[in-house]
Structure 1
Amino acid sequence: MRKLVVIGSINMDVVSTVGQFPRPGETIHSRGTSFFPGGKGANQAVAAASAGADCAMVGAVGLDPFGKTLVASLEERGVGVTSVLSKTGTSGMAIITVNEEGENYIVLSEGANGQLTEEDVAAVVKWDGVYAVLLQNEIPWQTTQYVIQSANKAGVRVWLNPAPAREVPHDVLPLIDTLIVNETEAEVVSGLKVEDAATADAAAASIIGRGTSNVIITLGEQGCFYGNAKGERFTVPAFRVTPVDTTAAGDTFIGAYAAACTEGQETEEALQFATAAAALTVTRPGAQASIPSKEEIMAFINK
């Protein structure tokens, strides 16, 4: 099996559920607070491993009590953790509020994630045998840019999910094999508003025109849009489910897509697989706890 490396954030998600979000200055009662291992990098790694990928995680946790719990959670889900480093200070945290419709607000505290350096990555990552590297925007951009350049030189595919949203330098876009974004992120990168498949097509064409080979834009209930430098364009519809918590939906989609690709699935089939994985995730609470296995995804598709 081809190997996938995920380099990114590892967080503890502190999740409070509420009836409705508070207005500015308003104090409301939570219906309960829970702790879930999360972080975009870790979530995507768990999603990939759960979906069948040979996946290793590169990241950092703090020396606080959360650190060991976060590493153990990754290992329990089949993710390689030998390149997860310990840093002085606290682990990354996400303070998440979820309303009764399943929508969420998230505030990030980067903690150890902000201490992951180029030197850390260079010391632990060897590109031999790696098919692709998956990146996000929850570690320092300088470190992410180093990984993009290093992987590109080694002939390893770079898959980037620039979330939280930020512009991607024009000289970096040609080094990216696949850019995976939602509507907001697509607008930030392309400069074009994305609302549906037609506007997603225009945004993808703009990004591809600057050198990126493949662009995937997720469109929520409208599914996702795919375009590449060869001129292929198509959409994959979403599965209809009743959402409980949307926290890890995007990360699950990305991790499942990465797993399907490393197993050799064709792009459209891989996107259908990823869409099904994301649909299952939103029917369950939590981040990593909500991520389905390959068997669950296949059963959902066949059903």
Structure 2
Amino acid sequence: MAVFNFGSINIDHVYSVPHFVQPGETLSSSSYQSILGGKGANQSVALAKANNNVFHVGAIGSSDSGFIEQMKEAGVNCEFIREMSDVASGHAIIQVTPDAENNIILFGGANQCISDDHIASALATAKPNDWVLLQNETNAIDKIITEAHKRQLHIAFNPAPMTESVKQLPLDKLTLLVVNEVEAEQLTGENDVEAIKRSLKSNYPNTKVLLTLGKAGVWFFEADNEEFCAAFKVKAVDTTAAGDTFIGFFLAAYQANKSIAEALKYACAASALAVMKAGAAPSIPSVDEVIAFLQTQ
């Protein structure tokens, strides 16, 4: 069983700042890093580090091909990543404060260059019961969902960053929807967790939902079942890839036929370890690290 992740590859320009820059303010950064990021790449790395068979489908500027090697080193199959000679890579400007909060500006670049033939060539190799994973940092999401559904593939979607266009997507075709509290509020118009759950169950009765609440834990629910898992209490350094790590490790455990309770705890542990390190993809732990952490809890 494999995951075909149609996802962004960003070059993250990370600046450590005393506070988020204000309008008209010039602010000095105490450190700078240029590292592999993007929700798509992060989730592919998380899946690979969780020992899952993952194919990343996306695009990057040819001058940044070294970042593909980093993904390969993590265990990601990169045969469906296209290098673009005439388009800049997607990238992000990230401010990180001493209390581990982050502020992000995105430029889509090559992430917006997924073509019909790119979609077709990747999905042609998928087998029944394989998964397609998507985030909201690339183009052609509606086409990918439609094509994956036609091929009877499982589809997981993390609509981050949330936009109004998400509401026009064929979300009823999803197997799994992954949203944080802010995204869920924007999608449903509700601002209470129980009301959000009722709304999503009503609107998407055949879709399983992961509702992540940060330090408050995570809910998994579907029409006739609910599971909650509390978050682990750790000292956060950088929360940038916490959600991506959670998704990768949860999906890997879920595919391995772990119970929902086991998959949630496993993913929460991986996410807790990720926030204890700086950076996006470099902060994602290995399976051995997650197992060792769980043994101490």
- Would you call these one fold, judging by a TM-score over 0.5? yes
Residue deviations 1:114-134 (CA, integer Å, cap 9, x gap): 111233211232222552111
Q: Which residue of 2 aligns with 1:14?
A: 13
Residue 290 (structure 2) aligns with: 297
**Counterparts of 1:94 and 1:131, CA distance in 2:** 30
Using the aligned pairs only, state the percent identity. 38
Taking structure 1 as reference, are residues 292 and 37 closer, same or farther at Cα in structure 2, changes over 3 Å only?
Answer: same
Partner Cα distance (1:79, 1:158) in 2: 19
Code of the aligned partner of 2:269: A
Q: Could you state the TM-score of these two structures normalised by the residue count of structure 2?
A: 0.95
Instruction: Name which of 276, 280, 291 aligns with 1:287.
Output: 280
In structure 2, the partner of 1:104 is 102
Say whether residues 1:225 and 2:223 are aligned partners: no
Aligned length: 292
The one-letter code sitting in structure 2 at the alignment partner of 1:78 is G
**Secondary structure of the structure 1 residue equivalent to 2:167:** coil
CA contact (8 A) 1:200 1:225 kept: no
Indicate yes or no: 2:267 matched with 1:268: no
CA root-mean-square deviation:
1.3
User: Which aligned runs of 4 or more in structure 1 are off by greater than 4 angstroms?
Assistant: none
Cα deviation digits, residues 242-286 of structure 1 (max 9, x gap): 110011001101111111112111122111111111100000001
The match for 1:202 among 195, 217, 220 is: 195
Match of 1:236 in 2: 229
Q: Which runs of 5+ in 1 are unaligned?
A: 194-198
Preserved contact between residue 128 and residue 152 of structure 2 (Cα < 8 Å): no
Aligned-partner Cα distance in 2 for 1:85–1:33: 28
Between the aligned partners of 2:67 and 2:201, the Cα distance in structure 1 is 36
Partner of 1:215: 209
Contact 2:142–2:169 (8 Å) recurs in 1: no
Give the whole-Å Cα distance in 1 for the aligned partners of 2:94 and 2:257: 35
Q: CA deviation at 1:144?
A: 1.0
- Superposed, 1:27-176 pairs within 5 Å as 27-64=26-63, 66=64, 68-87=65-84, 88-126=86-124, 127-128=126-127, 131-140=130-139, 143-167=140-164, 168-169=166-167, 172-176=170-174
- Structure 2 gap ranges (5+): none
**2: CA distance between counterparts of 1:131 and 1:263?**
12
1:277 aligns with 2:265: no
Q: What is the distance in 2 between the residues matched to 1:86 and 1:171? A: 28
Contact 2:8 2:40 in 1 (8 A): yes
Distance 2:49 2:94 in 1: 24
For 2:68, the aligned partner's letter is: V
Q: TM-score, normalised by structure 1?
A: 0.93
- Are 2:246 and 1:253 aligned? yes
Q: CA deviation at 1:171?
A: 6.4
How far does residue 213 in structure 1 lie from its aligned partner after superposition? 1.6
Q: Which residue of 2 aligns with 1:178?
A: 176
Q: Flag the 1:47–1:286 CA change in 2: closer, same or farther, 3 A.
A: same
Taking the aligned partners of 2:6 and 2:76, their CA distance within structure 1 comes to: 12
Distance (whole Å) between structure 2 residues aligned to residue 118 and residue 270 of structure 1 = 34
Instruction: Report the CA distance shift for 1:74/1:129 in structure 2 as closer, same or farther (over 3 A).
Output: farther
Which amino acid in 2 is paired with 1:245? Answer: D
Give the counterpart letter for 2:212 in structure 1.
T
Query: What does the per-residue CA deviation read over 1:94-142, in whole Å, with 9 as the maximum and x for residues that have no partner?
Result: 11010011110000011100111233211232222552111000001xx
The amino acid that maps onto 1:15 is V
Q: Is the 8 A contact 2:129 2:152 kept in 1?
A: no
Contact 1:131/1:262 (8 A) holds in 2? no
**What's the offset of the Cα at 1:22?**
2.2
